[in-house]
Chain A
Amino acid sequence: MVSRVGLAGVVAVFAAGIWLVAAPFALGYQLAGAGWTGATKTDVITGGVLAVAGFAGLFGVAAGRVVELYADARPAASLAATADRENSGS
């Protein structure tokens, strides 16, 4: 449960970044073809940073989980190999 909430937070950061980048254009307070206002620049830059960070965070969380799975599977695999060797030897 706790890990899901944490993962949801990372996803929310990524989604907030995407939203911030898209919000000036989606809500219409940045006109197409006109120069970017200060608010638009703030939103796009902040949103971009948050989106990249969120994506990196998601990637890091997934990669860390995979590394843990590998680390957990290694002793089991070595144990299984040892048992196989003993069985074949006997």
Chain B
Amino acid sequence: MTRYLSGLCVAGLGLCGGAWLVVAAMAFGGESAGNAGRVNLLTGAVLIAVCCLSLVCWSRLWRQRLRADGVLADPFPLVSRREARRNRRALSRDVRRAAKLAERSARGARRAARRSARLATGGALSEGGVLGEGVALGVASAGDEQYGRAAASYGAGVDGSALNGAGLGGVGVHGAHDPGLSGAGANPGERAAELIGELRSMLEPLLAATGGQPALAQQLSALVGQPAAPGQPSAAGQTATAAAASPLPRRSRFASELRPRMTAADLAMPRARSAPMSIPRLAPAVDDSALGPASDGEDTWW
């Protein structure tokens, strides 16, 4: 700071001296002073110019230093209109791109939720999906080769309804006939029930998230067998009694209304429903970008 102050003081003093020289030459001597007057005038003018330049330089240097030290805040950059327009366009383009990305990810999430809902309602059991694999692998881990093969058949999943349906039916049969099947001493049916229960607990938030779409709710309810509206007939009403008699986990009162009421045991019945099951095409929502109501478990999923 010392040098800036010194420079500024000297420049200011030089400015005053130059002004004094000019004034003295004009006021006290003028043209009559001859050589002295001209020297004073010239020296004064040069001194004024040099000291003005020096003042500007020292003040700029000091401001730079203060800005570097954080004492002075950076001024707003002066932007031309063209630059401002360009910045505005780039900003709106970025915002649009971000919105598209968000919309795409929301659509993907919704699609995943629908897929999970389909799996939970039993579509996967006849298609070799995740649920079927989970059941097959869970059984195969007990150490039985037959169930290993069953798992392989689930993994292949070529002929969905027939092969996997038979395979799943076989789980129950083998579980009943082979007491050494369950590694931890549990019935394979119980293990499958546990797995399905875990899957259901994981799928609850997804189902709750899709609950905001009426078309999906209607189709899901038609799938599950629960009447979507009071006046509509149930598509598969036979599942209520089977669910009541099933050893599978029961619905809690916090469960979503869209949670499937059909249990895995019901679905494992070979021809309880017409085969092959057609996967319902979900009607696209009017505003696809609108998300459903958020549930408590939604954040843990996305």
Contact = CB atoms under 8 A, between A and B. Distances in A.
Q: Do A and B come from one complex?
A: yes
Interface of A: 2-3, 5-10, 12-13, 16-17, 19-20, 23-24, 27-29, 37-40, 42-43, 46, 49-50, 53-54, 56-57, 59-65, 67-68
Interface stretch (B47-55, B95-103, B286-294): B47-55
A13 B51 contact: yes
Contacts of A12: 14, 47, 50-51, 54
B21 A57 contact: no
A57 B9 contact: yes
B35 A2 contact: no
A50 B17 contact: yes
Nearest to A6: B57
B50 A9 contact: yes
A67 B61 CA distance: 16
A10 B61 CA distance: 14
B46 interface: yes
Contacts of B54: 5-6, 8-10, 12-13
B12 to A, nearest CB: 9
Contacts of A29: 34-36, 39
A79 to B, nearest CB: 20
Nearest to A38: B28
Given A9-B53, A12-B50, A16-B47, A57 B40 contact: no
Interface in B4-52: 4-7, 9-11, 13-14, 17-18, 20-21, 24, 28-29, 33-37, 39-40, 43, 46-47, 50-51
B3 interface: yes
Contacts of A50: 13-14, 17, 47
B13 A60 contact: no
B36 A13 contact: no
Interface in B53-88: 53-55, 57-58, 60-61, 64
A50 B34 CA distance: 23
A49 B22 CA distance: 16
B283 interface: no
B1 interface: yes
Contacts of B232: none
A43 B36 contact: yes
B278 interface: no
A9 B11 contact: yes
Contact of B3 (A20, A28, A63): A63
A8 B61 CA distance: 14
Contacts of B21: 20, 42-43, 46
Nearest to A23: B39
Looking at A6, A16, A62, A67, which has the most chain B CB atoms within 10 Å of its CB? A6
Given A3-B61, A10-B7, A57-B10, 9 more contacts: A2-B61, A6-B7, A9-B7, A13-B11, A28-B35, A39-B29, A50-B47, A57-B7, A60-B5
